[in-house]
Amino acid sequence: MTDPVGAWHRLADSRVLLDGFHALKHALRFGAEVPLAVTADRAAALALADDLAPDVRGTLDALLTEVPRAVYESLVARPHPTAVAALAVRPSRAAHLERLARLPRTAPVVVLDEPRNLGNAGAVIRLAAGFGATGVVTTGTLDPWHPTVVRGGAGLHFATAVERLTVPELPPGPLFALDPEGDDIRAVKVPDDAVLAFGSERSGLSAALRARADQLVALPMRPQVSSYNLATSVGMTLYHWSTSTAAPF
């Protein structure tokens, strides 16, 4: 590419930022369309691919354009230690909505109800992708495709359906909402078509989502411990689901 910097500036506002080698690696593995990728050290990036991602090494070899480090650092807000950045096409919202709405499902949908922390949302998407969840939905104002969320998710947004919806728009399926007053989740069977809802880090479930829940469930917790981290709660819940169902992958 003769002018990667000019191309970057033309595309940046309409594309998803993949910040770092691992985000680019995962995006490519799960079919992302990546029109542009740059690095300040092409040899080091390809060496990482040889060690960690030989399955996409050929694609990276053809895709990566080396630029001076100062140029790379001017293109991203927080330069990544791997000195790799890329721009990807965001998946179709219509396709994601169709996937989220389709029944029967082989794995639950995770709902983050009015989350506040971008890093927590990214960690949840990474967890959900690892468990093979059908998708991750957020309600409220947080953009689940914000660059900080994508960085926290290590590019695994492309491995699941990630969208922002209102509570009335949530996918079909029995809605299990995590709440300290709920039934102990260890005695509850979570079906594959479940919608698993988690409240915000500060205030818990919104009144609208709590009213819609089919069942409130609670994670086991030592008395006087107030809460788990959001991503930890999601991981525990998905693990509970996975122990009583066939793996979706």
Q: What is the pLDDT of residues 15-48, one digit of tens each?
A: 999 999 999 999 999 999 999 999 999 999 999 9
Query: DSSP assignment, residue 107?
Result: S
Q: To the nearest whole number, what is the mean pLDDT of the chain? A: 94
Q: Which CATH number fits domain 93-242: 3.40.50.300, 3.40.50.1980, 3.40.50.620, 3.40.1280.10?
A: 3.40.1280.10
Where b means 16+ CB within 10 Å and e means fewer, 154-175 reads: bbbbbbbbbbbeebeebbebeb
Q: What is the pLDDT of residues 174-210, one digit of tens each?
A: 999 999 889 999 999 999 999 999 998 778 899 999 9
CATH 3.40.1280.10 segments of the chain:
93-242
For residue 110 the two structure tokens come to 């995770």
Q: Which CATH architecture has domain 4-88?
A: 2-Layer Sandwich (3.30)
CATH 3.30.1330.30 segments of the chain:
4-88
At 1 the pLDDT is 60
CA distances from 24 to 19, 93, 122, 138, 193 (A): 7, 21, 15, 23, 30
At 18 the pLDDT is 96
Q: Which residues contact 27 (CB under 8 A, 6 or more apart)?
A: 18, 34, 86, 88, 155, 157, 158
